[in-house]
Chain A
Amino acid sequence: MAPPTVARKGRPEMTIVYEDRGDDATSDVPVNRIKFSINGKKMVAEVEPRLLLSHLIRRGVGLTGTHMGCDTTNCGACTVLVDGRPVKSCTMLAVQVDGRTVETVEGLAGASELHPLQEGFKAEHGLQCGFCTPGMMMAAKALLAENPDPTEDEVRWALSGNLCRCTGYQNIVKSVLWAADKLRTQGS
Chain B
Amino acid sequence: MSQALDEIKIGGLGASRKRVEDDRFIRGRGNYTDDITLPGMLHMEILRSPLAHARIKSIDASKAWDIPGVRLVLTGEMMATRNLAWMPTLSYDTQAVLATDKVRFQGQEVACVIADDPYIAKDACEAIDVEYEPLPVIVNPVQAVADGAPVIRDDKENQPDNVIYNWEVGDKAGTDRAFEQADVISKLKLHYPRSHPSPIECCGSIADFNRATSKLTVYMTTQAPHIIRAAVAMVAELPEHLIRIVSPDIGGGFGNKVPVYPGYVCSILASILLERPVKWIEDKSGNLISTGFARDMYLDSEMALRKDGKILGVRIHADADHGAFFSDAQPSKFKIGLLHSAFAAYDIPAGHLTARGTYSNKAPGGVAYRCSFRVTEAMFFQERMMQVAAVDLGIDQAEFRRMNFVQDEQFPYRTAFGFLTDSGQYAKCLDVGLKAVGYEEFRQQQAEARKRGKLLGLGISTMTEPLGAGNSREYDILGIKMFDSADLKVHMTGKAILRTGAKSQGQGHETTWAQIVAHELGLPAEDVVVEEGDTDTAPFGMGTYASRSTPVAGAAVAMVSRKIRAKARKLAAHLLEVSEEDIEWELGRFYVRSAPDRGVTIQECAMAAYSNMPDGMEPGLENTAYYDPPNLTWPFAVYIVTVEVDPETGVWDVLNMVAVDDCGVRINPMIVEGQIMGGLTEAYAMANMQFITFDAEGNCVGSNYMDYLLPTAWETPGFELHSEVVTPSPHHPIGAKGVGECAAVGGPAAFVNAVMDAISDTGVRNIDMPLLPDRVWEAITYRRDVSGAPPVRAEDDAGRSGGVVPPGQN
Residues of A that sit less than 8 Å from B by CB: 21, 25-26, 48, 50-51, 58, 63-72, 74-75, 77, 104-106, 108-109, 114, 118, 121-123, 125, 127-134, 137, 155-157, 159-173
Contacts and interface: CB of A to CB of B under 8 A. Distances in A.
Given A72-B284, A166-B678, A168-B674, 14 more contacts: A69-B201, A72-B285, A105-B27, A106-B27, A114-B27, A125-B19, A128-B674, A130-B25, A130-B249, A130-B506, A157-B714, A162-B712, A170-B718, A173-B713
B32 A67 contact: yes
Given A127-B22, A129-B505, A170-B719, A165 B252 contact: yes
A104 B283 CA distance: 22
5 contacts: A77-B200, A121-B22, A157-B713, A159-B712, A163-B710
Contacts of B716: 168-170
A45 to B, nearest CB: 15
A106 B27 CA distance: 6
Given A71-B283, A72-B705, A172-B713, A121 B26 contact: yes
Interface residue range, chain B = 35 or more
A66 B28 contact: yes
A95 B487 CA distance: 51
Contacts of A171: 674, 677
Interface string B661-672: 000000000110
A160 B507 contact: no
A163 B200 contact: yes
Contact of A122 (B18, B199, B252, B678): B18
Nearest to B199: A165
Nearest to B709: A74
Contacts of A132: 200, 251
Contacts of B252: 129, 131, 165-166
Nearest to A137: B26
Interface of B: 18-19, 21-30, 32, 34-35, 68-69, 119, 198-202, 249-252, 254, 283-285, 505-508, 670-671, 673-675, 677-682, 704-706, 710, 712-714, 716, 718-719
B251 A129 contact: yes
Contacts of A161: 712
A4 to B, nearest CB: 29
A46 to B, nearest CB: 14
Given A65-B29, A67-B32, A71-B704, A170 B710 contact: no
A48 B117 CA distance: 12
A111 to B, nearest CB: 13
Contacts of B706: 72, 74
B712 A163 contact: yes
Nearest to A136: B713
Contact of A65 (B18, B22, B27): B27
A121 B26 CA distance: 8
B201 A129 contact: yes
A165 B677 CA distance: 10
A169 B715 CA distance: 10
Contacts of B30: 64-65, 130-131
Contacts of A160: 712-714
A11 B2 CA distance: 68
B25 A67 contact: no
Contacts of B22: 121-122, 127, 130
Contact of A128 (B34, B198, B678): B678
Contacts of B712: 156, 159-163, 169
A75 B705 contact: yes
Contacts of A156: 712-714
B28 A65 contact: yes
A170 B677 contact: yes
Nearest 7 Cβ contacts at the A-B interface: A65-B28, A131-B251, A130-B25, A129-B506, A168-B677, A105-B28, A128-B506
B35 to A, nearest CB: 4
A71 to B, nearest CB: 4
A95 B305 CA distance: 70
Given A69-B202, A127-B22, A104 B682 contact: no
B678 A70 contact: no
Contact of A130 (B68, B119, B251, B714): B251
A165 B198 contact: yes
Contacts of B678: 128, 165-168
Nearest to B705: A74
Contacts of B713: 155-157, 159-160, 162, 164, 169, 172-173
A165 B254 contact: yes
Nearest to B35: A64
B681 to A, nearest CB: 4
A168 B681 contact: yes
A44 to B, nearest CB: 20
A108 B25 CA distance: 12
Nearest to A121: B26
B68 A25 contact: yes
B710 A165 contact: yes
A162 B716 CA distance: 13
Contact of A131 (B32, B119, B674, B675): B32
A113 B32 CA distance: 24
A26 B704 CA distance: 34
